[in-house]
């Protein structure tokens, strides 16, 4: 996977991506990352990249031409029109299935806006995907690009080792992960659940599945609607909800 980031802050991208698992994957050749400075493609006297919006309004806009030339330089180098993600709160909200799907691309270009955004005309010409990372506002697209690259990268074969495995974690089958425990067996008076010490693998799997379902029901009921559960499991959730209601009524 080759990541190409079009940005006014290339050092932010390079510094942010050079640590831990992603840094290791770059060093080992499973990933490559380049940060293209849009300002290098501003061929005017003061390397200006922004201007006032027509029609008035707050703030400045990034102009079309430097963005276009930065994109064109990347497209020429890789020899085709790549998939281009524009990071914007006006995009579709990013999720795990988008990460899984994007991990199949050979190249991904991320376009990071700043100020009040980018001239619409260049977006129309080069952007293939409009993506947001959630319903809140950030000052620029760099952090969202790094969030997306992190989650896409870990779906690329070779990036995670076997024991860091990608899929059996949160969001596998739209369920959250079960709670986990390490040594010591007792800490601050809290004991590790007995079943985990039993060595009985079938019981451990059963307990973990229950915990995943219960945790999803409590914390992310919106996810639970999309989860793949057996009829027995749906019934157990109904029982649990009934119990909760009884508990609440007694308080
Ligand atoms: Cl992708 N960009 C910006 N600027 N703000 C955001 C966002 C993206 N996603 C959520 N907020």
Is the per-residue pLDDT at 4 higher than 90? yes
Which range among 3-17, 140-154, 179-193, 234-248 shows the weakest confidence by mean pLDDT?
234-248
Is the per-residue pLDDT at 164 higher than 60? yes
**What band does 137 get if pLDDT is binned at 50, 70 and 90?**
very high
Residue linked to tokens 């690259």: 149
Strands annotated E in the chain: 2-7, 32-37, 50-51, 61-62, 83-93, 107-112, 129-132, 186-187, 190-191
User: For atom 2 of ligand 1, which residue has the closest CA?
Assistant: 88
pLDDT number for residue 172: 76
Atom of ligand 1 nearest to the CA of 87: 1
Query: Hey, what are 230's tokens?
Result: 């057996």
| Arithmetic mean of pLDDT over the chain | 95
**144 Cα: distance to centroid of ligand 1 (angstroms):** 6
Query: Hey, what are 172's tokens?
Result: 């596998």
**What band does 139 get if pLDDT is binned at 50, 70 and 90?**
very high
Determine what percent of the chain is predicted with pLDDT higher than 70. 98
**136 Cα: distance to centroid of ligand 1 (angstroms):** 7
**What band does 65 get if pLDDT is binned at 50, 70 and 90?**
very high
User: For atom 8 of ligand 1, which residue has the closest CA?
Assistant: 88
What are the residues whose beta carbons fall under 8 Å from the beta carbon of 7, sequence distance 6 or more? 13, 35, 36, 37, 38, 110, 112, 141, 142, 145
Task: Say how far apart CA 247 and CA 251 lie, in whole Å.
Answer: 7
Residue 117, ligand 1, Cβ within 6 A: no
- Assess contact for 143 and 100: CB atoms under 8 A: no
- Taking CA atoms, 192 is separated from 111, 114, 182, 206, 209, in Å, by 46, 48, 8, 16, 17
What average pLDDT does the segment 53-72 reach?
Answer: 97
**69 Cα: distance to centroid of ligand 1 (angstroms):** 23
**33 Cα: distance to centroid of ligand 1 (angstroms):** 21
Which residue among 12, 133, 143 is best mutated to probe the pocket of ligand 1, counting the most ligand atoms within 8 A of its Cβ?
133
Which residue among 140, 141, 149 is best mutated to probe the pocket of ligand 1, counting the most ligand atoms within 8 A of its Cβ?
141
What average pLDDT does the segment 127-144 reach?
Answer: 97
pLDDT number for residue 169: 59
């Amino acid at each position: 996977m080759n990541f190409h980031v079009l940005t006014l802050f290339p050092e932010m991208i390079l510094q942010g991506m050079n640590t831990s698992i992603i840094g290791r994957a770059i060093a080992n050749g499973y990933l490559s990352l380049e940060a293209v400075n849009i300002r290098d493609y501003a061929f005017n006297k003061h390397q200006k990249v922004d201007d006032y919006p027509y029609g008035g309004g707050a703030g400045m806009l990034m102009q079309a031409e430097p963005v276009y030339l930065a994109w064109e330089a990347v497209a020429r180098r890789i020899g085709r029109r790549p998939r281009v993600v524009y990071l914007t709160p006006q995009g579709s909200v990013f999720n795990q299935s988008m990460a899984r799907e994007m991990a199949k691309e050979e190249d991904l270009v991320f376009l990071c806006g700043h100020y009040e955004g980018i001239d619409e005309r260049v977006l129309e010409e080069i952007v293939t995907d409009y993506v947001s990372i959630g319903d809140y506002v950030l000052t620029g697209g760099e952090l969202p690009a790094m969030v997306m690259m992190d989650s896409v990268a870990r779906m690329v074969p070779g990036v995670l080792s076997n024991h860091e495995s990608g899929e059996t974690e949160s969001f596998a089958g739209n369920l959250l992960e079960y709670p986990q425990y390490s040594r010591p067996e007792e800490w601050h008076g809290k004991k590790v659940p007995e079943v985990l010490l039993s060595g009985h693998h079938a019981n451990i799997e059963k307990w973990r599945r229950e915990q995943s379902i219960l945790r999803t029901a409590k914390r992310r009921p919106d996810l639970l609607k999309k989860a793949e559960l057996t009829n027995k499991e749906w019934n157990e959730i109904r029982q649990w909800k009934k119990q909760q209601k009884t508990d609440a009524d007694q308080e």
